C-alpha cells in the first residue's frame, strides 16, 4: 500500500488550498472527498466576500488569517485566473447603539491591520452608493468579492497538476491511529483503505466527526443555516459596493445584506438559523419571505421576476446556540495524536482566510516532516488532461475577439446556454478538465451554464446530448451531483436511430 506523506480529508476551499500549498514541497499528497467534485460543500454556498478583517478579536486565528488571506487573495486569483474584484464595503450604523459599535469596530479593524479603514460621513456614503440610508459608516476599501467555487476548482487543479492525487466519492468512515504495530494512520472509506504519515482534517461540517474518529472528542459543531436569494443580472448596476449593517454582539452571522457577485448577480442573505441536520440545505417559506421583503426594502427597483434562485449554506459553528457569536477557528497539530492536524469550525471568513490557513498548515506539517520546496512547481492555471484553461469567457469578449475565437475553434460559434452565453467550446473544455467524474453541477460551477435566469430550461437538454455524444456518459448515468442524483431514468424506449437525430 502506498504511504502518503499527507492525506487531506475534504476538498473544499480549505482542503484544496492546503493541498496546493503543500504541493509546492516534496510531499506525496492525497485528498479524499465524499462528493464527486471539489467545493460541493460549504465552499460553493456562501457570500463569496473577501472580508477585510474588522469583525474579529485581534490576535485570534480568525483575525490574523482573515487579514493575511485578504492580502494574498488578489495575487493568488490573478495567478490562477479566478474572478476577483476589490469592491470595498460600507458597514452602516442606523441606531445610536450601532454608531457606538462602529467606533469599536474601527478600533478593532485598526488593531487587526485592516488597510485604509476609516469612518465616513453621509456625504461620502452617498458618493460611494447613491441613495444609501444611514448616517455614519465604516469604509473598508480592501473588502472584495471572489468566485468561491472557481477559487476552489483552481486550487484543486493547481494541486492536481503538481502531483496531488484526488479520490472522489470516498467518505472517510474510520481512522486507525499509529501505535506500536504500525507507524502510520489508516483511513478507511467504504471500499478502500489509505495510509498516511500526516492527516489534515479539512472536512468542514464533518470535521468534528473526523476528529472523533481519531479519538479527539472535545469538538462539537452546531450547524447554522444561511438562506439566500440570487437576483437577476439586470440589476448589475444597482449596487456599487457591499453594504452591511453593523452586527449585534450575539449575532451568529453578519446580518442580511446585499452582495454583488463577480458574475454580476446580487445575493440577498444570509439568514441565521441553528438547525439539527447538517445536510439540510432546504430553504424555508418564512425566511424566503423575510429575504424578499428585505430585498425590496434595500433595493426599491426590484421586481418579482428578479428573484432567479434561492439556496442555503450551513455554517460549521463551534459556538452553541445559547452562546451565539463566534468562536475562534481551530488550527492545531495534536500532541496527543501526533501527525493529526485539525482545521475545525472554519466558518466565515474561511473563504478569505483559506490561503493564510494553508500557510499555517504548511508550517505545522513542517514541524512533523522534513519539507523541501520543489523547483519544478507549475505556476498559474495549469493544463489538465491535455486541455488548456480558457482564460477569457466568450461572453466577455468583443465582437472582434468572438470572431477570432470562432475562427480558431468552430465550437465557439455554438451557444449552449443562452442566458449566460456559454459556448460548446467552453462546455467541452470544462468537462475535459474535470478531475473527478463529470456532473451537471460540476459543469455549472465551471462554466455558469444553468445559472442564468432560465435555470437550465434551455441548456439542460443540450448538455445531455453533449455529455452523451462527446464524453460517452449514457443518459441513465448522468447525474446532478454524483451517485443517487441521477437526472433521468433512462431512455424512454429502445431506439434504433441516435437520440435527437432523424433517421
Chain positions contacting another protein, by CB under 8 A? 229-230, 279-285, 288, 292, 303, 305, 307-311, 399, 402-403, 406-407, 410-411, 413-415, 418, 421, 424, 453-458, 460-461, 464-465, 475, 479-481, 484-493, 495, 499-500
The correct pick among 21, 43, 201, 464 for binding ligand FAD (CB under 6 A) is: 43
Q: Say which entry of another protein, ligand FAD, none residue 109 contacts (CB below 5 to 8 A, set by partner kind).
A: none
From the CB of 295, what's the least distance to ligand FAD, in Å?
A: 16
Q: Which of residues 49-108 bind ligand FAD (CB under 6 A)?
A: 49, 51
Question: d(Cα 450, Cα 443) in Å, to the nearest integer?
Answer: 9
Q: Is 433 in the site for ligand FAD (CB under 6 A)?
A: no
Q: Number of residues in contact with ligand FAD, rule: CB under 6 A?
A: 41
Grid cell at residue 462: 443540450
Q: List Cβ neighbours of 455 (8 Å cut-off, separation of 6 or more).
A: 308, 309
Q: At what angle do helices 350-366 and 61-80 cross, to 10 degrees?
A: 100
Pick between residue 25 and residue 201 the one whose CB is nearest to ligand FAD.
201
Closest to 164 (Cα-Cα) out of 17, 340, 360: 17
Pick between residue 134 and residue 223 the one whose CB is nearest to ligand FAD.
223
Q: Say which entry of another protein, ligand FAD, none residue 489 contacts (CB below 5 to 8 A, set by partner kind).
A: another protein
The correct pick among 19, 137, 221, 351 for binding ligand FAD (CB under 6 A) is: 351
Name the one range near ligand FAD by CB under 6 A: 3-11, 358-366, 384-392, 481-489.
3-11
Q: Say which entry of another protein, ligand FAD, none residue 42 contacts (CB below 5 to 8 A, set by partner kind).
A: ligand FAD
Question: d(Cα 3, Cα 5) in Å, to the nearest integer?
Answer: 7
DSSP state of 407: H
Q: Following DSSP, what letter does each residue of 92-122 receive, concatenated?
A: EE-SHHHHHHHHHHHHHHHHHT-TT-EEE-H
Q: Is 171 in the site for ligand FAD (CB under 6 A)?
A: yes
From the CB of 341, what's the least distance to another protein, in Å?
A: 29
Quick one: how far is CA 120 from the chain centroid? Answer: 31
What residue has cell string 470562432? 406
Q: Is 339 in the site for ligand FAD (CB under 6 A)?
A: no
The correct pick among 53, 134, 226, 247 for binding ligand FAD (CB under 6 A) is: 226
Q: Is 417 in the site for ligand FAD (CB under 6 A)?
A: no
Pick between residue 18 and residue 438 the one whose CB is nearest to ligand FAD.
18
The correct pick among 238, 242, 268, 314 for binding ligand FAD (CB under 6 A) is: 314
Report CA torsion sign: 246, 248, 249, 252: negative
Pick between residue 132 and residue 299 the one whose CB is nearest to another protein.
299
Question: In the beta sheet, which residues pair with residue 312?
Answer: 227
- Per-residue contact flags (x/-) with ligand FAD for residues 270 to 289, judged by CB under 6 A: x-------------------
The correct pick among 88, 109, 204, 482 for binding ligand FAD (CB under 6 A) is: 204
Q: Is 34 in the site for ligand FAD (CB under 6 A)?
A: yes
Grid cell at residue 252: 451568529
Question: d(Cα 294, Cα 286) in Å, to the nearest integer?
Answer: 12
Characterize 102-127 residue by residue with b for buried, 16 or more Cβ atoms within 10 angstroms of its Cβ, and e for exposed: beebbebbeebebeebeebeeeebee
From the CB of 353, what's the least distance to ligand FAD, in Å?
A: 6
Q: Is 13 in the site for ligand FAD (CB under 6 A)?
A: yes
DSSP state of 373: B
270 upstream amide cis, omega within 30 of 0: yes
Question: d(Cα 90, Cα 136) in Å, to the nearest integer?
Answer: 9
DSSP state of 378: P
Q: Is 348 in the site for ligand FAD (CB under 6 A)?
A: yes
Pick between residue 337 and residue 441 the one whose CB is nearest to another protein.
441
Closest to 60 (Cα-Cα) out of 356, 367, 358: 356
Grid cell at residue 467: 455529455
Question: d(Cα 62, Cα 70) in Å, to the nearest integer?
Answer: 12
Report CA torsion sign: 242, 246, 250, 255: negative
From the CB of 225, what's the least distance to ligand FAD, in Å?
A: 8
Q: Say which entry of another protein, ligand FAD, none residue 278 contacts (CB below 5 to 8 A, set by partner kind).
A: none
β 193-201/185-188 pair status: antiparallel
Q: Has 399 been annotated as catalytic? A: no
- Continuous segment of H or E residues that includes residue 502: none
Task: Extract the runs of DSSP E, i.e. beta strands, from 328-476.
Answer: 330-333, 340-344, 415-417, 422-423
From the CB of 72, what's the least distance to ligand FAD, in Å?
A: 13
Pick between residue 57 and residue 495 the one whose CB is nearest to another protein.
495
Name the one range near ligand FAD by CB under 6 A: 46-54, 82-90, 133-141, 393-401.
46-54
Provide the binding-site residues for ligand FAD, judged by CB under 6 A. Answer: 9-15, 32-35, 39-43, 46-49, 51, 171-172, 202-206, 210, 226, 270, 313-315, 346-352
Catalytically annotated residues: 51
Amino acid at each position: 500500500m502506498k504511504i502518503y506523506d499527507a492525506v487531506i480529508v475534504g476538498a473544499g476551499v480549505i482542503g484544496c488550498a492546503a493541498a496546493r500549498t503543500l504541493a509546492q514541497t516534496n510531499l506525496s499528497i492525497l485528498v479524499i472527498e465524499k462528493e464527486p467534485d471539489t467545493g460541493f460543500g460549504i465552499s460553493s454556498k456562501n457570500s463569496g466576500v473577501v472580508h477585510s478583517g474588522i469583525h474579529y478579536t485581534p490576535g485570534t486565528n480568525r483575525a490574523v488569517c482573515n487579514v493575511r488571506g485578504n492580502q494574498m487573495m488578489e495575487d493568488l486569483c490573478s495567478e490562477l485566473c479566478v474572478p476577483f474584484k476589490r469592491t470595498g464595503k460600507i458597514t452602516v450604523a442606523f441606531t445610536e447603539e450601532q454608531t457606538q459599535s462602529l467606533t469599536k469596530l474601527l478600533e478593532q479593524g485598526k488593531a487587526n491591520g485592516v488597510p485604509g479603514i476609516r469612518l465616513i460621513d453621509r456625504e461620502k456614503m452617498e458618493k460611494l452608493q447613491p441613495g444609501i440610508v444611514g448616517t455614519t459608516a465604516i469604509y473598508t476599501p480592501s473588502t472584495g468579492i471572489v468566485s468561491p467555487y472557481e477559487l476552489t476548482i483552481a486550487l484543486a487543479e493547481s494541486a492536481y497538476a503538481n502531483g496531488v492525487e484526488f479520490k472522489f466519492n470516498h467518505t472517510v468512515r474510520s481512522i486507525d491511529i499509529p501505535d506500536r504495530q504500525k507507524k502510520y494512520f489508516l483511513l478507511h472509506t467504504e471500499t478502500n483503505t489509505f495510509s498516511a504519515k500526516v492527516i489534515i482534517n479539512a472536512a468542514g461540517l464533518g470535521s468534528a466527526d473526523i476528529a472523533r474518529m481519531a479519538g479527539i472528542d472535545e469538538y462539537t459543531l452546531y450547524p447554522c443555516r444561511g438562506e439566500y436569494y440570487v437576483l437577476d443580472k439586470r440589476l448589475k448596476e444597482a449596487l456599487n459596493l457591499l453594504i452591511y449593517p453593523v452586527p449585534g454582539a450575539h449575532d451568529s452571522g453578519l446580518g442580511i445584506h446585499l452582495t454583488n457577485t463577480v458574475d454580476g448577480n446580487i445575493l440577498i442573505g444570509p439568514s441565521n438559523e441553528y438547525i439539527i441536520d447538517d445536510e439540510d440545505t432546504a430553504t424555508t417559506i418564512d425566511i424566503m419571505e423575510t429575504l424578499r421583503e428585505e430585498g425590496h426594502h434595500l433595493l426599491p427597483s426590484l421586481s418579482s421576476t428578479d428573484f432567479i434562485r434561492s439556496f442555503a449554506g450551513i455554517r460549521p459553528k463551534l459556538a452553541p446556540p445559547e452562546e451565539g457569536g463566534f468562536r475562534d477557528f481551530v488550527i492545531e497539530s495534536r500532541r496527543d495524536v501526533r501527525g493529526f492536524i485539525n482545521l475545525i469550525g472554519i466558518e466565515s471568513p474561511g473563504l478569505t482566510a483559506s490561503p493564510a490557513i494553508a500557510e499555517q498548515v504548511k508550517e505545522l506539517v513542517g514541524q512533523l516532516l522534513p519539507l523541501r520546496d520543489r523547483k519544478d512547481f507549475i505556476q498559474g492555471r495549469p493544463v489538465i488532461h491535455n486541455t488548456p484553461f480558457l482564460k477569457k469567457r466568450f461572453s466577455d469578449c468583443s465582437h472582434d475577439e468572438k470572431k477570432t475565437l470562432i475562427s480558431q475553434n468552430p465550437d465557439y460559434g455554438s451557444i449552449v446556454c443562452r442566458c449566460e452565453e456559454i459556448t460548446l467550446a467552453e462546455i467541452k473544455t470544462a468537462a475535459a478538465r474535470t478531475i473527478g467524474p463529470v456532473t451537471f453541477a460540476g459543469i455549472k460551477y465551471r462554466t455558469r451554464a444553468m445559472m442564468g435566469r432560465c435555470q437550465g430550461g434551455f441548456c439542460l437538454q443540450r448538455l445531455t446530448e453533449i455529455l452523451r455524444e462527446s464524453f460517452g456518459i449514457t443518459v441513465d448515468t448522468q447525474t446532478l451531483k454524483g451517485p443517487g442524483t441521477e437526472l433521468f431514468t433512462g431512455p424512454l424506449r429502445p431506439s434504433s436511430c441516435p437520440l435527437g437525430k432523424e433517421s
